[in-house]
Structure 1
Amino acid sequence: MPYPIQDALLPTRHDDQYHAPGDALKRLPLRKAAVLFIATVCLCLCALLYLQLEQSRRHDLNQARVASSNLTRAMAQQAEDTFMKADLVLTSLVDWIQVDGFGPPLRSRLQKTFARRVQSLDQLHGILLFDQKGQWIVTSFEDLPRGPGVADREYFKFHQQNVSSVAHIGAAIRSRENGEWIIPVSKRVNDKNGEFQGVLLAGIKMSYFDQFFKSFSIDDKGSMFLGLTDGTLLARRPFVESQIGTSLAKGEVFQNLLPRATSGEAMFTSLVDGVVRLYGYRQLDAYPLVVSAASSRDSILAEWHDTAFRSSLIVALVMLGVGLFGWVFIRQLRVGERVEADLRQAQEALELIATHDSLTGLANRRLFERALDVEFGRGARQHSPLSLIMLDIDFFKRYNDTYGHVVGDHCLAQVARAVKDCCHRKADLAVRYGGEEFAVLLPDTDIHGAMTIAEQIRRSVMAKNISHTGSPTGYVTVSLGCYSFMPTGRDSMDVFIQRADAALYQAKHSGRNRSAVLSLEGGIAELMRSDR
């Protein structure tokens, strides 16, 4: 429990009382020099370790950036070759179809041609021709699929609305022929007049890219992906079906990196799974595609972490040795300091015991008299009022007789806590004056302020609802007397206390559980009471 008044009133102690000044001057520089030397050695070791580890870390990251750049370049080349072969097949077939058409006499021949082209390219799932309404006309499969057609597909709508003859790469879809995931590459089919006649589509197997990605060596937390330039995810390693077709447009690669450069490397947290990786990315020149390969930061720096641990352990052992040597060197000096500190603490504890009540923790009469002497002088110098509240627990003898002295002590402690809680300023001093009687000294407070505090204390004690069968109210209450005056420098402490005590007596005489104010006007004492 803090005692602000005590801090101002207790005498201060200095180390000079226990040690000669000459001894302190001799010991202090040596201790500081030892500590400074040890700290300097340790800091130098730490600085050297940091520089070495930082250089090694940067080297590992640079090596990883080079490897990532090479990997994305290889991925981009392979992806471009894959789509270019499909594009060439579609271009040759579209040219043929636009010249000869796809009437019933030609469909058998077209089917066989489609099938041969699919067999010649491992990446192709199938080749499919749709008419202007999205219905299947010819496919590379032997049986023509049945169903509502593909008029609702994104690629079909694209070709309906765009006359461009450039191949269109759409978002990954499930084939309506067998349910396999494919990436559609399609071209518009026109008649001789340039009018829309249908769509020719080549489906690239998602499994082809899965095997393609697995041919590259990356760590378990690494990732690779193929996406459209608008951020649509086409294929990814590791493959997670629910992520196919999702948008990465708000990710770091599409949001910030690609607008600045079509290729590069950067380390950031993945939008998909939250793993920190070093990403290499590259946008294809021939198609609206982006490839990216990433290695997790943990795997890149795994060997560095091992080296850092071993180096740090060695430096830590060296620092421990230096520290132990320094500890032994200054131990004897610190023993003396501990003795001094213990003596100071013991002296402060004794002073606290001498100035505070052990039961309630409030100031005792000795500290109260010191405070009165200080505040009388301060009030006279600053012409500020000084107030005193004396309070007494009502029917406390009956309480002790009824509940015993142990419970009575607990009651005193609760009342003291209520008194202390109502002293809001550091300058206010709560005192156990004796027995069940308490006092509150209020510097720079007039009679109205003292009465306000007194009523707060009275209500606070009542609010605790301490049972007291010997009291008419049924619970513990207090009576309070207030007195305030303007110190002049020639005042008597005894008279000051007596007048507050007289107000307390009047409060008890008038029925208890109330606050009374004593004011002196024209030499006649007037009593004012504040009932509940």
Structure 2
Amino acid sequence: MPIPIHDSHHAPGALKRLPLLKASAFFIAAVCLCLCGLLYLQLEQSRRHDLALAEVASSNLTRAMAQQAEDTFMKADLVLTSLADWIQADGYDSIQLPRLQKTFARRVQTLHQLHGIFLFDKQGQWVVTSFQDLPRGSGVSDREYFKFHQQNVSSLAHIGPAIRSRENGEWIIPVTKRVNDKDGNFQGVLLAGIKMAYFDQFFKSFNIDEQGSMFLALTDGTLLARRPFVESQIGTSLAQGSIFQKHLPGANSGNAMIGSVVDGTVRLYGYRQLEAYPLVVSAASSKDAILKDWYATAFQSSVIVALVVMGVGLFGWVFIHQVRDGGRIEADLRTAQEALELIATHDSLTGLANRRLFERALDIEFGRGARQASSLSLVMLDIDFFKRYNDTYGHVAGDHCLAEVARALKSCCHRKADLAVRYGGEEFAVLLPDTDIHGALVIAEQIRRSVMDKNITHSGSPTGYVTVSLGCYSFVPTGRDSIEVFIQRADAALYQAKHSGRNRSAVLSMDGGVEALLRSDR
């Protein structure tokens, strides 16, 4: 029965290192994840805030563009309407032509966005313009706007794709009206050309980034004007872009982060369709420009958090290694403590408990026996004629004999509570808790026979082999008993067994006399 020197409930090893290591690693990982998570949440919130501000600015910009574009085309429309009414009422014979030319010129001077005003007959030839001289050429019967008015009786203004003026080659956006005679028949086309340069200057008045863009297009996607101005893109179709395919069908205005079909740059587009005319305006800022400051802040914050995470990780690595080293040191100390405890409580030759552990076990079993009113037995045994054995075979053989007897002794102690002890020299003891005298005698006889079965040659013994004598004593502790008396009575029984011829077991009665002597001859 192992009796520890220290109480395990108060041992330093009670705090387990493995959970501490896991808890430390989990805590460090949690701190790092929380820092990264907080950084992500802060950056994401900042990014959304910057994008929201950009959406507001984009919406305001497109609203201003739409208002300006609508005013520009409305002024041209009003001029054409008044001129068309005059022409339809008075015609454009040779008498009217000088007056028309002067009127056209005054209107152009009044509206600086106009390139010029032109009147074409039903064959598409020039009749009168705001310029002094009529252009020479084949006319405009091949133009889109002329064909449109030939085929449509509508008196509403028509805005066509951007063209180069045949007057001077300048890019213009044509705003045209159908001219009828008094009977409502097609008589010609009245055109007011809006300068492309006008919109270019207007677009430049807004502060957008270098990768930003602005455009004016027809509702069918035909590009009329754009910033930055790229001549080869004028007249191309934007109809396959996301604005015209996905967004405008659902709402006349809004914002969208999309890639441009013109140059592929990802931009935040604000778009708006004009109410009075079939036109769409859009202003866009590149995503990189919108998030430029955010990128800088994100980089700085990420570097700071990365350094903190590295510091925490380094500290955690050192701490975990310290804990591991501490655990190893503690394990070594526990091993050393167990070794010391074994040395302090066990006989090094036989491996049996020594007297120190025996005395402690007696204290414990006396108290337990008194509490439970259970019997406590002690068997004392001694190797017969051991001095002769040492003298005959030497001390090395004697030590071997002691070890063999100890093995026989341990083989007969079947319960964990039984304690086999080397009491001193060739004397041994077996403490048997919760065992009466009959049980002690049975164990004693088992031990005696087990030693004989070893067949250890002993020429100095009458039997020719090593034998043992045993004395047994048993009682029920009361709490006022003496350990010394308990050992003395078992020793007295052993003395009686040796005095009666050795190689036998003796039991001491409660009154101090020898109750029984047992011997088994081979």
TM-score for the superposition, normalised by structure 1:
0.57
Aligned residue for 1:76? 66
Partners of 1:142 and 1:102 in 2: how far apart? 16
Partners of 1:246 and 1:266 in 2: how far apart? 21
Q: What stretches of structure 2 of length at least 5 have no aligned partner?
A: 1-12, 327-522
Query: How far is the alpha carbon of 1:278 from its aligned partner?
Result: 0.7
Aligned residue for 1:46? 36
Aligned residue for 1:304? 294
- Structure showing greater radius of gyration is 2
1:34 aligned onto 2:24 = yes
Aligned residue for 1:502? none
From 183, 200, 206, the equivalent of 1:193 is 183
Aligned residue for 1:289? 279
> What is the identity, as a one-letter code, of the residue corresponding to 1:87?
D
Change (3 A) 1:142 1:37: same
Query: How far is the alpha carbon of 1:114 from its aligned partner?
Result: 0.6
From 106, 117, 123, the equivalent of 2:96 is 106
Q: Provide Cα deviations, 1:39-65, integer angstroms capped at 9, x if missing partner.
A: 100001111111111111111111111
Query: How far is the alpha carbon of 1:26 from its aligned partner?
Result: 5.7
> What is the identity, as a one-letter code, of the residue corresponding to 2:47?
R
Aligned residue for 2:377? none
1:262 aligned onto 2:242 = no
> What is the identity, as a one-letter code, of the residue corresponding to 1:290?
V
Aligned residue for 1:252? 242
Partners of 1:221 and 1:136 in 2: how far apart? 42
Q: Matched residue of 2:95: which SS? A: helix
Aligned residue for 2:111? 121
State which drifts further: 127-136 or 49-58.
49-58
1:163 aligned onto 2:116 = no
Aligned residue for 2:54? 64
1:182 aligned onto 2:202 = no
Q: Provide Cα deviations, 1:466-519, integer angstroms capped at 9, x if missing partner.
A: xxxxxxxxxxxxxxxxxxxxxxxxxxxxxxxxxxxxxxxxxxxxxxxxxxxxxx
Query: How far is the alpha carbon of 1:334 from its aligned partner?
Result: 7.9
Query: How far is the alpha carbon of 1:27 from its aligned partner?
Result: 5.4
| RMSD between aligned residues | 1.8
> What is the identity, as a one-letter code, of the residue corresponding to 2:258?
F
Partners of 2:99 and 2:173 in 1: how far apart? 25
1:203 aligned onto 2:208 = no
1:239 aligned onto 2:229 = yes
Q: Matched residue of 2:254: which SS? A: strand
Aligned residue for 1:212? 202
Partners of 1:108 and 1:335 in 2: how far apart? 108
Listed as ranges, the matches of 1:128-167 within 5 Å are: 128-167=118-157
State which drifts further: 301-310 or 115-124.
301-310
Query: How far is the alpha carbon of 1:327 from its aligned partner?
Result: 1.6
Q: Matched residue of 1:104: which SS? A: coil
Q: Matched residue of 2:282: which SS? A: strand
Q: Provide Cα deviations, 1:348-406, integer angstroms capped at 9, x if missing partner.
A: xxxxxxxxxxxxxxxxxxxxxxxxxxxxxxxxxxxxxxxxxxxxxxxxxxxxxxxxxxx
From 310, 313, 319, the equivalent of 2:309 is 319
Q: What stretches of structure 1 of length at least 5 have no aligned partner?
A: 1-21, 337-532
Partners of 1:104 and 1:328 in 2: how far apart? 103
Partners of 1:335 and 1:239 in 2: how far apart? 71
Partners of 1:253 and 1:316 in 2: how far apart? 40
Partners of 1:46 and 1:329 in 2: how far apart? 21
Identity %: 80
Aligned residue for 2:355? none
Partners of 2:27 and 2:254 in 1: how far apart? 48
Tell me the matched-pair count.
314
Query: How far is the alpha carbon of 1:70 from its aligned partner?
Result: 0.7
Partners of 1:41 and 1:78 in 2: how far apart? 55
Partners of 2:62 and 2:305 in 1: how far apart? 40
Partners of 1:55 and 1:26 in 2: how far apart? 43
Partners of 1:65 and 1:126 in 2: how far apart? 37
